[in-house]
Structure 1
């Protein structure tokens, strides 16, 4: 897992820099900067909107006595999506938007569920009941 994380820490920023340089050459400096600012503003608005809806969903489920598991995963995806949208770059913006849009968030949630289930079944996560 550490190796994969290390690759992301090295490769993604290098690709982002390459794309930003290519965009600067192709579109020009000002359009590239405006595009980065625009995606940041749009991403912040979308994260706020989706986050508020998810909080309401969690509250509704808890009031009816349901466990808000799916809504918690939505919240996790929205949080990560909002964070990666804060970093300048086109790759991170694409991933951020994929995590914020409900229809494209579903595959990520399935992957997270499978990941957590494997960890729980392998005994890597333990739940302690009080």
Structure 2
């Protein structure tokens, strides 16, 4: 796991810098800078709006006595998407937007759910109740 994190810390910023340079050559430096700023603000706004919806869903399910599993995974996707949109770069913006959009979010939600199930079944992750 540590190897993957180190690789991501090195590879993702390199790809982002390369993408920013390429887009800067295509549309100009100031427009590229403006585009990065706009995606940051749009991401903050969109994640705030979607985050409120997810919070209401979690509260509604808990009041109904249901476990809020999918709603909490939606909230996690929204949180990750918002953070990715605040980072400068176009690759993280694309992934962040797809995490925030209700149409594409179920793909990520199911991927996270499968990952959690594998970790729980393999014993790498345990849940303790009080």
Range into which the TM-score falls when normalised by the shorter chain: over 0.9
Superposition RMSD in Å? 0.9
Aligned counterparts of 2:5 and 2:129: Cα–Cα separation in 1: 32
- TM-score when normalising by structure 2: 0.95
Moved segments of 4+, more than 4 Å: none
> Any stretches of 5+ residues in structure 1 without a counterpart?
none
Q: Is the aligned partner of 1:120 residue 2:120?
A: yes
Structure-2 residue corresponding to 1:84: 84
Deviation (angstroms), 1:125:
1.7
Aligned residue pairs: how many? 130
Deviation (angstroms), 1:77:
0.7
Structure-2 residue corresponding to 1:61: 61
Secondary structure of the equivalent of 2:128? coil
Structure-1 residue corresponding to 2:33: 33
Aligned counterparts of 2:53 and 2:101: Cα–Cα separation in 1: 12
Aligned counterparts of 1:129 and 1:30: Cα–Cα separation in 2: 53
Deviation (angstroms), 1:129:
2.3
